[in-house]
């Protein structure tokens, strides 16, 4: 499924491209042909009123929700083509290219800082040692070194 997208040699392909994305819930069309393109290194903010489809768009782009139509292309490869997603094994690789910050923190209050940071990558196949090394590095970058057990 993740065959390369045909692009012009003179322009680099975007890191994320969404074309004519559609999503409905029962009789309600939520995404009605949304298209966007994000170049590498850019940060995108999606704003709009409550119920306008922001969360649905993000959930579709991160494969937490299935789509009804359209394409999602990560780094020049199809993750979804004409509404059909790549196999689950391939989607796992695409998920690593996408990150979002939820409005609510969505942390587990009964977990330590370290466990909250390491659990998601471990669940996605990263080894515990590698996940912990990355977590320590991230905490250091954020000025939170030494807070692993908090």
Spell out the domain ranges in the chain. 16-95, 107-150
Cα distance from N-terminal residue to C-terminal residue, the chain: 43
Flag whether the pTM goes above 0.85: no
pLDDT in tens, 89-136: 888 788 777 776 666 667 788 899 999 999 988 888 889 999 999 999
pLDDT of res. 131: 93
pLDDT of res. 8: 46
Whether the per-residue pLDDT at 85 is higher than 50: the answer is: yes
Q: Which of 3.40.630.30, 3.40.640.10, 3.40.50.300, 3.30.420.130 would CATH assign to domain 16-95?
A: 3.40.50.300
Q: Which of 98, 90, 112, 114 is nearest to 3 (CA)?
A: 90
d(CA 62, CA 48): 19
Q: What is the mean pLDDT of residues 69-89?
A: 93
């Amino acid at each position: 499924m993740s065959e390369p997208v045909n692009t012009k040699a003179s322009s680099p392909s975007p890191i994320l491209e969404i074309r004519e994305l559609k999503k409905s819930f029962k009789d309600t069309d939520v995404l009605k042909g949304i298209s966007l393109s994000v170049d590498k290194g850019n940060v995108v903010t999606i704003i709009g009123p409550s119920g306008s489809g922001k969360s649905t768009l993000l959930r579709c782009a991160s494969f937490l929700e299935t789509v009804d139509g359209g394409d999602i292309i990560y780094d020049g490869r199809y993750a979804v083509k004409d509404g059909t997603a790549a196999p689950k094994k391939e989607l796992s690789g695409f998920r690593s290219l996408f990150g979002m910050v939820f409005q609510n923190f969505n942390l587990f209050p009964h977990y330590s800082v370290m466990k909250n940071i390491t659990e998601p990558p471990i669940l996605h196949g990263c080894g515990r040692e590698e996940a912990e090394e990355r977590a320590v590095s991230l905490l250091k970058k954020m000025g939170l070194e030494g807070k692993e057990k908090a």
